[in-house]
Amino acid sequence: MLFRLVLGLYRLLLPVFLLTALPGWLARMGRRGGFGSGLRERFSIYTPPLDHEPCGAVHLHSISVGETLLALKLIRAWRDRDPAQRFVIATGTATGHAVAVEADLDDVRVTYSPVDLRICVARYLNRFEPAQIVLVEGEAWPHLLLACRKRGIPVRLVNARLSPRSEKRYRKLAPIVQPIFAMLDKVAAQEEADIARWEALGVARDKITVTGSSKFDPGAAVMPALRPEFTDMLAAFGPHRPVILAASTHGDEEAWLAAALHDSAALYAVVPRHAERRAEVKAALEAEDREVILRSAFHPPADPARACFVIDSTGELRDWTAHATLVVIGKSILGTGGQSPAEAILARKPLLFGPHMENFEPLASSLVAAGGAIRFTDAAQLATTANDLLADPARCSRMCDAAARVLAIHTGATGRMLDMLAS
pLDDT digits (tens, 9 = 90+) for 216-248: 887 777 789 999 999 999 999 999 999 999 999
67 catalytic residue (yes or no): yes
pLDDT band at 267 (very low <50, low <70, confident <90, very high): very high
pLDDT band at 24 (very low <50, low <70, confident <90, very high): confident
Q: How far is CA 18 from CA 113, 143, 311, in A?
A: 15, 15, 33
pLDDT category at 315 given cuts 50, 70, 90 is: confident
Q: Give me the pLDDT at residue 264, please.
A: 95
32 pLDDT more than 80: no
Q: Is the pLDDT of residue 302 over 80?
A: yes
Sequential DSSP letters for 344-404: HHHTT--EEE-S--GGGTTHHHHHHHHTS-EE--SHHHHHHHHHHHHT-HHHHHHHHHHHH
Average pLDDT over residues 107-120: 95
- pLDDT of 139 higher than 90: no
Share of the chain above pLDDT 70, in %: 98
Q: What is the arithmetic mean of pLDDT over 35-43?
A: 82
The pLDDT, as a whole number, for residue 414 is 93
Tell me the average pLDDT across 350-378.
94
d(CA 277, CA 279): 6
pLDDT value, residue 78 = 95
| The pLDDT of residue 216 | 86
| pLDDT value of residue 134 | 98
In order of their start, the domains of the chain are 20-217+412-422 (3.40.50.11720), 228-409 (3.40.50.2000)
Lowest-pLDDT range, 149-163, 225-239, 286-300, 321-335?
149-163
Conformation bin of residue 264: beta by default, left when phi > 0, alpha when psi is -120 to 50 = beta
pLDDT tens-place string over residues 408-423: 888 999 999 999 998 7
pLDDT computed for residue 138 by the predictor: 76
* Residue 44 main-chain phi, psi, to 5 deg: 60, 40
User: How many residues are there in the chain?
Assistant: 423
Q: What is the pLDDT of residue 5?
A: 86
Q: Is the pLDDT of residue 114 over 90?
A: yes
**Closest to 154 (Cα-Cα) out of 133, 124, 126:** 133
8 A C-beta contact, residue 187 and residue 198: yes
Q: How many CB atoms lie within 10 A of CB 244?
A: 24
- Does position 28 have pLDDT exceeding 80, yes or no? no
Is the pTM value of this prediction over 0.95? no
pLDDT, averaged across the chain: 92
Q: Which of 41, 67, 137, 254 is catalytic?
A: 67
Neighbour count for residue 388 (Cβ, 10 Å): 12
pLDDT of residue 390: 97
Q: What is the pLDDT of residue 231?
A: 97
